Amino acid sequence: MQHKDINEDIRWAQINKDVLRSMENPRKAYWISVGICLALLSLAVIAEIYQYNVGLGPTNLNWPHMWGLYIATFIFWIGMSHSGTLLSAILHIIHADWRKPIYRFAEAMTTFTLMTAGLFPIIHLGRVWNMYWVLPYYSDRGIWPNFRSPLVWDAFAISTYLTSSALFLFIGMIPDLAICRDNTRGWKKKLYTVLSLGWRGDDRQWRNFRKTYLIMACFLIPLAVSVHSIVSSDFAMSIMPGWHVTTFPPYFVAGALYSGCAGIITLFILLRYFFRFEQYMTLPILEKTCKLTFAIAMVWTYLNLIEYSSVWYGHDTVAKELLIDKFTGPYSPYFWAMNILGSVLPFTLAFEKLRRHIPTMFAVSILLNVGMWLERWMIVSPTLAMSYEPFTHTVMWASWVQWFIVIGSFGWFGLLFLVFVKIFPSVSMYEVKEMIFHRRHLANKDIAAVMHRRSSDPQPSEGH
Amino acid sequence: MSLQNILQDWSKYRKGNEEGGFHDYEHLWGLAIDLNKCIGCNACSVACYAENNLAVVGKDKFAKHQEMHWLRVERYWDEPDLGEQAVSDYQSHGASFLPMMCQQCMAATCEPVCPVAATYHTPDGLNAQVYNRCIGSRYCSNNCPYRLRYFNFYSYYEDSWPAPLNMQLNPDLTVRDKGVMEKCTFCVQRIRAAKDVAKHEHRELQDGEFTTACAQTCPTQAIVFGDLLSLHTAGKAESTLSTLWRDQQVELGRTEQHKQNPDKRGYRVLEGLNTDPKVMYLERVREV
Amino acid sequence: MALDKIKRRDFLKIMGWGGAGATLAGCDMPTTVTLEEGKEEVVSYLVPEEYVIPGIGVWYASTCQQCAAGCGVHGRVREGRVLKLEGNPESAVNSGALCQMGQSALQTHYNPDRIQQPLLRSGGALKKVSWDEALAQLQQKAGGRSAWVTGTISGHQAVLLDAYVKATQARHYPVEVVGSPVWNRVCQDMLGDANPRLRIDEADLIVSFGADFLGTWNSPVHFSRQYARFRQGPKRGMLIQIEPAMTLTGANADLWLAIRPGTEGVFALGVANVLVDRYQTSIAGLPADAQKAIRLYTPDHVKDITGVSVDQLMKVAELLKKRGNSLVLAGSTAEGHSYGYQSVASIMLLNILLGNVGKTLQANVHAPAQLAPRVGNTANLVAFAEAAAAGNIDVAFFYGSNPLYLAPQSLGLKGKLDKVGFKVALSSFMDETTAQADLVLPLASALEDWGSHVGAYQNGELQVSIQQPLMEKLYPETRGFGDVMLGLLKQRQVREFALYEDYYAYLRNAVAAMPAALNKAGGNAWNNALQHGVVALNAGSGALRPRAVSLPQPEMAAGDDGYPYHLVPSARLGLWDGRHANIPWLQEAPDQITKVVWDSWVELHPTTAAKLGVARGDTVKIASKAGAIEAKVYVYKGIHPDAIGVPLGQGHDEYGRYAKGRGVNPLSILNDTKDQTTGELALHATRVQLSRTAGKPGDKLVLMGGSESQLGRKMVATVKAEVFARSEGDA
C-alpha cells in the first residue's frame, strides 16, 4: 500500500515530461467528456434562447416562487469555487505541502465555477439586456444602483473574487508557463511566451514571485469567506422565514467548502484518469482530501443542526412551521435526501478502505455534491412555498427550461475546465519539484530547522 | 451624484430625523378596509383589471400561478379567533374574505432589496415601481411578506387583448412587457390627474376628490381611500381616512398597537414584521 | 401663468401635451378613417372632434345591461373610446357602486368574437349578407305566426316590442333562469305586491332560505349597499342563511345552516311551530290547512326531514322572536322544486306571523305598465318549447336570451326548434341559439346603443334609467335593438312609429314628452335625462295586504330511486346564467366561494367525497335521468352531504373563444320537473348519481391561492358581536 504522498525518487525531467505529455495525448475518455459537456451546454443554449424570447414563463417560476433552480444553482456554483481557494491559499499559508500536485486544477475550478455561477443571476433576470444596470457606472442622469441591495453586493463580491482568483491562478502558473514556452512550438509557444511574462527563473524573479503569491493568498482568503457570506445575505438580509437566519454566513461558507472539496475529489479522480497522473495525484493525497472533506462535512452538519434547533426552540412560529413542513411537506423527500447525503454519507470518508477505493470515492463525491445542490434548493424553494401569507402557499416544480439551463451549466463548467487542463499544465510542475525536493532531503530531519530556512529557496544543484 | 448632493441629502435626512414625523411627505395615501362590510364579491378586483391594464393570462398560465391580479380577494375557511367553533361538520360561519392589495408599507421590505432601485418610496408615501428601471431580479416579490408583487412572465399584449379588446386599455398607464415586476399603485394615475387638476386650479387637493378604482366600485363601500398625513402631522386638513384610523387607534410606525380601547377593530396584517403597512383592516364581526 | 414665469418644467409639460396630441392622430380610432381602409385621409386629432379633448377623459351616464337590475353607470370616454365604467351615484339602484359583471361590460363591448355583419343561412351555413337583404328576407318570411323569446326587457324597447307583437299577433316569451319568479308570485298572492320593497337595512335579523341577495338575487348591488348599512353600527344586524349549498350570501352569514335540498318550507313551518308552541304566536287567522301544517311539523319531525338539529331550529325561532325587526327571504333553492310555491309560501308565512309586513317588507312603487319590465322566467321557456313542438310558430325571434343553452335536454328544445320555420337571432355573439338561427341580425353592444330601462326591483323610488351610447359603433354593420325594432315596425307599417327616423329620435321624443306630472325633474327633460342618466318618476305606492294562502301538504319526492344526490345548479355573480362566459375578466376572476377559474366544478361535502373516494381535482360523472356531465371536484364543508353543487355559466358549445368548450352546463341534465303552481322549471329538483371517472388527461382544476386555512395567523381577524356592540354599537 502506498503511504508516501508522492514518489520522492521521480526525476524532475520526468515531471516536466509527464505534465507536458498530459497536454498532448489524453485518454479517449477526455474527448468523450468534452463531447458530453458540449451536448449539455447546447441544451442550456436552446433553453436560454427560448427563455430570452418568450420570457420567464416557461420556466414554471411563478407568483410566490419568483426564484427557483437558477438561484439555487448559482449558490451551488459559488460554493464550489471556495475549495480552490482553500487548497491554493489557505493550505499554502499553513504549509500543507500535499496540496501541491492538486492545487492548480482546484484553483482553475475556482475560476471556472465562478464564471459559471456568475451567469445564473444574469440568466434569471427578467430583462437580461439591462443586466449592467446593477453596476455603478457614471450616468449623466445621476442614476445609481441601490447600494442597500444584497444583489448589488453580490455583483461586487463575485466580480472581485473572479478577478482575484483568476489572477491568482495566473500568477501561480507563471513558472510553469515558462517551462511550456521552452518545450512547445507554433501558436502554443507564442501563447506561452506572452503569458509567461518573460520568466527566466532568476533569483529576483523568484523572490518577487513568492512575495506576490503570498500576498495574493492572504488577500484571497478573507475574500473567499466574505463572498459566500455576502451571497448568504441574499437570504439572510431578507425578512422571509427560513431565510433571515443569523448563522447563514458561516453555514454558507461551510457548505461551500464542503461541496468544493467534494468537487475536488471528483475532478481529482477524473484528471488522474484522463492524463495518467497516477504518479502525482496519488491515493494518499486523495485520502488527505477526503479527510479534509469529512472534517468540513461535520462542521456543516453541526451548523445545520444549530439552524434547526435554533428555529425549533425559537419563537418564530412561521419559521418553525416552515421547518416542520420541510421535514414533512411536499419537499420532504428532497429535504431528507439532502440531510442523508450531506450528513450521513460523508461517514464513508472515515474508512480507509473506502477512501482508497477510487470508484467509490468518485460516486460518493458526486453524491455529496448532489446533496449540497439539494441543500441550496431546499433553502430557496420551501421558503417561497410557505412563507407568511397562507393564501400564497404553493409548490413549484421546475420545468425543462430550468433543468436544461441547470444541467447545461455543468456542461459549460466542464468545457471550460477541460479546455483549461488541456492547454495549461494542470499539475504545478515547479511546486511538485519543490515538494519532492523537500520531502527527499528534509522529511526525516528536524522540520523546525528547515522551516527556519526560506523553504521556497530553490536549490541550484538541480535546474529545470 | 456629486459630493455636494450627498452632503445635502445627508443633512436633509438628519434634519428629518431630528424633526421626526412625516414632514417630508406631501401625502400619505392609505386605505381602510372594513371586513365587517366586505362580502368578497370580487368587484374591486375586476375594477382593478379594467383600470390598470392587467393582463388576462388564461387557464394554463393561471394553473402555473402566473396570474396578475393586483388586488386579490383571499378566502379562508377558518378563523383563528373563532377557535374550536370552526371545527364542525359544516362551514357554519361562512367564509372569511380578505382583499389584499399592495399594502404600501412605510418600511417596505421590497424597497431596500431592489438592486437597481426600481422600487422606491415617493413623497406621496407610495412604493412606486419604475417599470423602465426594473431588470426583473424579482427579489422584491420574494421579500414581500404579503406576496403582492406580480411578475410579467410573458409579454401579454397579444394574447390578453386581441383586437378590439386592446381599445379598452387605459392610456394613462402602460401595458407592462415581459420581465418587469408590477403591483398595485393605489391608482397612481388617478392621483396624478387629481393633483394636476388641483395645481391647475391653484388649490390644495381635497379629501374625497378622487378615489381608487376598487374603493369606487365597492358595492358595500368597505374600502375607504385617503390621505393619512393628517394622522401624524399637525396643521393638515383631516381626511375621512385619518379620522377612521384615529378612531380605531391605529398608528403608523408601530409593530404593535397600544390601543386605549382594546375593543377597536383596526389592525394591520402581519404588523409584527414592522413593515408598517398603510392599509388598515377592520376586524370581521361574528355573532357567536 | 405669465410668460416670464413659465418654468422649464411647465414648458416641457406643455410640449408634452402637444406631443401627445400629435401622436394620437396616428392611432386608429373607430371614428377616424384609416389608411388600411384604403382612403388616404387621416383625420388629425389636432383638430379634434366636437367634445373630444385629447388626453382628457369625459364621463357620460348610461345604464348597465349585464343583468336585469338596471344599475346606472358612468363611462369614461377618451379620444372616442370608452375605457372604464363606474356606478352612477344618482341611480337609486346602485348609488355609484358596480359589481364585477358591470365592470366587465367593457369586455362584452370590445369582445373580439362579436358578430359584425348580418348572416343568412343558405345551403346549411350562415353567410354574410347586407342589412337590406336581411330585412327583405325577414319581410318575406315574417308573415306567419311568430314568437319572441327575449330576456327581461323593459322601458321603451318593451314599448316597441309590444307594438310589434301586437301588430303581428305574436307571442312574447321573456325567459330568464336566474330570477325569483316563485317568490314574486308568492309575494303577489300573500302581500299583494309581486316585488315588495325589502328593507334589508332596517332589519335586525335576516333569515334567508337560499336567497343570494348579495350575489344573484334581483338587484345584488342594491342589496349589497343595504347590507352595508344592515351590518354597521349602532345596531348591527344578524344574517342566517339556510341553504343546501353555500352562496355568496351564505359565505357572509353569521350562521350558515346546511339543509337537505327541498325541505326549506318544512323548516319554515317548523320555525312557525316553535313560534306557536313556545312563544305563543297566534295563528288563528290562517287557513285551516296552514294551521294544520304548522302543527304537524314539530321540531323532531323537522329534524328528521331537513337534517337540521332541533337546537338550531330553536335558536332560529328564538332569534326571530327576540331580535327586533326580522326579514325572511326565499331564494332559488327553496323555489326550485315541484312544491316550490308551497315552500316559499311557508317561508313567507313567517314574515306574516312575525309582523314583518309593513316594516321590513314594504309596498313598492311600480312603473307605468308600458315601461315596466317583462320579467323573464322559465315557465315561458317551457311554454315556448311547447308552442314550438305543436308547430304553432312559423317565425321565432331571439333577443337577449339563449334558450338553447338554458333549456334542459329533457325539454327537447333543440328538436322542437326544428319545427320552427324561420329563426331570427338578434344578437351580438354567436351563442348556441344564434348558431341555429336562419337569420342573424348583429346588434350593437349595450355601450353603443340607446335605450331606457326600469329595473325589476325598485327601491321605493321609481327611476327610468337612460342608456346612451358611450362611443361610436365599433362595427358599422351592427344596429341597435331599438333601431331594428323600429325598422321592423316600419315594415309592418305601424303608423305611430313611421315618423321617427331612428330609435334615438323616438326615445328622445318619448322621454321629452313624458308628462310633467310623471317626470320629477321637469325642465329640459331630455338633457336632464342624459346628464343624470336617470329620470325620476312620480309614483305612488299602496300598502301591503298580508293574506295567508292555503298550504296543501306537499308531496316530497320519495326514495332516491338509484339517484341519491340532489343537484344544486348554483348561479354565481360572475358568469351568471352563462351569458358572461365570453368575458375574459370574469373567466379569470376566481369564483368567490371556491376560487376556481376558467372552469366548472362539483362541490362535494367531505363525507360525500370520502364515500366516493375522491379528492379535490378528481373528476366525477354526474348522471341524472336526463343526461350526464363530468366535472372536477371541489371538497368543502359549505354543502349538504346529500347535495352536490355545480355552478351555472360554463359548458358552452358556441359563444366565442373564451367560452366555447369550457366546463359543463348543469342545466342540461335537469329533469323535466315543474313547480305545480307556477309552472316554473324546478331547477333544484333533479336527483343525480355520482361516479368517479378518469377525466380528460392534463386537465386540472385551477384555483387561485394555496392554503385555505389561516394557519392561526391573523390574516382575517374577528371580534365577537358583543365587542362590536361595546365599541361601535349602542350597548
Asked if B115 and A152 come within 8 Å (Cβ–Cβ), the reply is: yes
Q: Is B67–C588 a contact, with Cβ atoms under 8 angstroms apart? A: yes
Contacts of C707 in chain A (CB under 8 A): 390-391, 393
For residue C690, pLDDT over 90 is answered with: yes
A243: which 3 cell numbers?
431565510
* Distance, CA of B245 to CA of B223 (rounded, Å): 13
Beta strands in C231-350 (DSSP E): 238-243, 255-258, 326-330
Q: Say yes or no: A68 contacts chain B, CB-CB below 8 A.
A: no
pLDDT digits over C694-721, tens only?
888 888 899 998 889 888 888 999 998 8
Nearest alpha-carbon partner for C251 in B44, B75, B287, B215: B75
Question: What pLDDT is stored for residue B184 in this prediction?
Answer: 95
Quick check: A152 and B137 CB within 8 A?
A: no
**Is the model's pLDDT at B86 over the cut of 70?**
no
**Pairwise CB contact (< 8 Å): A387 & B151:** no
Sorted by where each begins, the domain ranges of chain B are 25-282
Mean pLDDT of C275-281: 90
Confidence of residue C47 (pLDDT cuts 50, 70, 90): low
Could you tell me which chain A residue has the CA closest to the CA of C710? A390
Residue C539, pLDDT above cutoff 50: yes
pLDDT at residue B162, rounded to an integer: 93
pLDDT of residue B260 exceeding 80: yes
**Residue of C111, C478, C718, C720 for testing the chain B interface, max B β-carbons within 10 Å:** C718
Q: Is the dihedral of CA B84, B87, B92, B94 positive or negative?
A: positive
Mean of the per-residue pLDDT values for chain B? 89
A310 vs A294: CA distance, rounded Å: 24
> What's the whole-number mean pLDDT along residues A422-442?
84
B175-178 long-range contacts, Cβ below 8 Å, gap at least 24?
A: B175/B53, B175/B55, B176/B53, B176/B55, B176/B131, B176/B152, B177/B152, B178/A54, B178/A55, B178/A56, B178/A57, B178/A126, B178/A127, B178/B152, B178/B153, B178/B154
Distance CA A368, CA B241 (A): 58
Give the residue from B57, B75, B76, B147 with the most A CB atoms within 10 Å of its CB, the best one to mutate.
B147
Query: Which chains does A contact via 3+ CB–CB distances below 8 A?
Result: B, C
**Of the candidates C78, C438, C728, C130, the residue with the CA atom closest to the CA atom of residue B282:** C728
The cell 493568498 sits on which residue? Answer: A217
Percent of residues, chain A, with pLDDT higher than 90: 63
Q: Give the DSSP per-residue string, A229-273.
A: HHHHHHHHTS-STTT--TTHHHHHHHHHHHHHHHHHHHHHHHHHH
Q: Which of B67, B135, B142 sits opposite A131 (nearest CB)?
A: B135
Per-residue pLDDT of C437-468, as tens digits, reads 999 999 999 999 999 999 888 888 888 999 99
What is residue C7's predicted lDDT score, i.e. its pLDDT?
52
For range C281-301, the mean pLDDT: 88
Q: Which three cell numbers stand for residue A364?
A: 460518493
Q: Report, as an integer, the average pLDDT of A58-81.
A: 92
Please give the domain boundaries of chain C with CATH numbers for all domains: 3-109 (2.20.25.90), 119-177+369-537 (3.40.50.740), 182-362 (3.40.228.10), 565-693 (2.40.40.20)
The confidence band for A91, taking pLDDT boundaries of 50, 70 and 90, is confident
Per-residue confidence (pLDDT) for residue C15, from 0 to 100: 40
- pLDDT at residue C16, rounded to an integer: 39
Note if the bond before C234 is cis, omega within 30 degrees.
yes
Q: CA-CA distance, B240 to B229, in Å (whole number)?
A: 11
Domain over B25-282 is classified CATH 3.30.70.20: yes
- What is the secondary structure of A433-454 as a DSSP string? HHHHHHHHHHTTS-HHHHHHS-
Q: What gap in Å lies between CA B36 and CA C236, rounded to an integer?
A: 10
- pLDDT 10s digits, B124-159: 999 999 999 999 999 999 999 999 999 999 999 888
Closest CA to C444 of C118, C177, C173: C118
Residue with the larger pLDDT of the pair B275 and A11: B275
Domains annotated on chain A, with CATH: 12-452 (1.20.1630.10)
Q: Do C713 and A392 touch (CB under 8 A)?
A: no
Q: Please, what is the average pLDDT of chain C?
A: 87
* pLDDT for C48: 64
Which burial class, exposed, middle or buried, applies to B256 when counting CB atoms under 10 A from its CB (0-12, 13-18, 19+)? Answer: exposed
- Which of C 94-133 lie inside 8 A of B, CB atoms? 94, 96-100, 102-104, 106-107, 110-112
C666: exposed, middle or buried (Cβ count in 10 Å: 0-12, 13-18, 19+): buried
Query: Nearest CA of chain C to the CA of A385: how many Å?
Result: 9
Q: What percent helix, strand, coil does chain A show, rounded to 5?
A: 75, 0, 25
Once rounded to an integer, what is the mean pLDDT over residues C120-141? Answer: 90
What pLDDT does residue B243 have? 92
- In this predicted model, what pLDDT tens digit does every residue of B117-130 receive, in sequence order? 999 999 999 999 99
Task: List all residues 6 or more positions away from B286 whose beta carbon is below 8 Å from its beta carbon.
Answer: B79, B81, B82, B93, C254, C718, C719, C720, C721
CA distance A191 to A172: 17
Question: What pLDDT digit, counting tens, does each position of A372-390 carry?
Answer: 999 999 999 999 999 999 9
C706 at A interface, C-beta within 8 A: yes
pLDDT surpassing 90 at residue C43: no
CA-CA distance, A202 to A192, in Å (whole number)? 18
For A26, residues 6+ apart whose C-beta sits below 8 A from its C-beta are: A274, A275, A422
The lowest-confidence range among A211-215, A394-398, A434-438, B38-42 is A434-438
Average pLDDT over residues A59-68: 92
Confidence of residue C607 (pLDDT cuts 50, 70, 90): very high
pLDDT band, residue C556 (cuts 50/70/90)? low
What residues does B281 pair with on adjacent strands? B33, B267
Q: Name which of A176-185, A400-409, B5-14, C498-507 the model is least confident about.
A: B5-14
pLDDT digits (tens, 9 = 90+) for A124-152: 999 999 999 998 888 888 888 999 999 99
Q: Which of A124, A134, A237 sits opposite B116 (nearest CB)?
A: A134
Helical (H) or strand (E) element with C424: strand C422-427
Model pLDDT for residues C610-634, shown as the tens digit of each residue: 999 999 999 999 999 999 999 999 9
Return the pLDDT at B246: 92
Q: Radius of gyration (Cα) for chain B, nearest Å?
A: 20
Name the pLDDT band for A1 (thresholds 50, 70, 90): low
| Minimum CA–CA partner of C708 in chain A | A391
Instruction: State residue C557's pLDDT score.
Output: 61
Query: Which helix H or strand E contains A334, and what residues bound it?
Result: helix A332-339
Poorest-pLDDT segment among A432-436, C295-299, C303-307, C492-496: C492-496
Average pLDDT over residues C170-196: 92
Residues with Cβ within 8 Å of residue C110, at least 6 apart in sequence: B164, B165, B167, B168, C474
**Do C343 and C330 form a contact (C-beta atoms < 8 A)?**
yes
Check the CA dihedral A55-A56-A57-A62 and report its sign: negative
Mean pLDDT value of segment C593-601: 94
Percent of chain B clearing pLDDT 70 (strictly above): 94
- Compute, in degrees rounded to 10, the torsion defined by CA atoms C565, C571, C577, C580: -130
- More confident: C507 or A94: C507
The pLDDT value recorded for residue C31 is 44
pLDDT in tens, C82-112: 999 999 999 999 999 999 999 999 999 999 9
Q: Which residues on C lie below 8 Å from B92 (Cβ)?
A: 255-257
Of B43, B92, B165, the CB nearest to C99: B43
pLDDT of A251 above 90: yes
Q: How confident is the model at residue A278 (pLDDT cuts 50, 70, 90)?
A: confident
Q: What is the pLDDT of residue C30?
A: 43
Q: Is the peptide bond before A64 cis (omega within 30 degrees of 0)?
A: no
Average pLDDT over residues C12-26: 39
Q: CA C194, C197, C199, C200: dihedral to nearest 10 degrees?
A: 60
At C653, list the grid cell. 358549445
pLDDT at A446: 54
Output the pLDDT for position B26. 87
- Say whether C586 and B264 touch across the interface (CB within 8 A): no
Give Cα C343 to chain centroid, integer Å.
Answer: 22
pTM (predicted TM-score): 0.90
Flag if C713 and A388 touch (Cβ within 8 Å). Answer: yes
Residue A455 has pLDDT above 90, yes or no: no
Q: Which pairing describes strands C687-693 and B279-282: parallel, antiparallel, or unpaired?
A: unpaired
How far, in Å, CA of C476 to CA of C45, rounded?
A: 21
User: What pLDDT does B167 receive?
Assistant: 92
Query: What pLDDT shows up at residue A4?
Result: 76
Q: Which of C707, C709, C710, C715 to mutate to test the interface with A (most CBs of A within 10 A)?
A: C707
Residue of B nearest to A123 (CA): B137
List chain A residues with CB under 8 Å of B272.
Answer: none
> Which residue in C112, C214, C225 is closest to B162 by CB distance?
C112
What H or E segment, with its residue span, contains residue C209?
strand C205-209
Output the pLDDT for position C49. 67
Adjacent-strand bridge partners of C120: C127, C439
pLDDT of C497 reads 85
Q: How confident is the model at residue B220 (pLDDT cuts 50, 70, 90)?
A: very high
Contact B5 A391 (CB under 8 A): no
Q: In the predicted model, is pLDDT for residue A339 greater than 50?
A: yes
- CA–CA distance, C719 with B40 (Å, rounded to integer): 18
Q: Around Cβ C496, how many Cβ atoms within 10 Å? A: 9
- Closest to C76 in 3D by CA, of C62, C92, C60, C89: C60
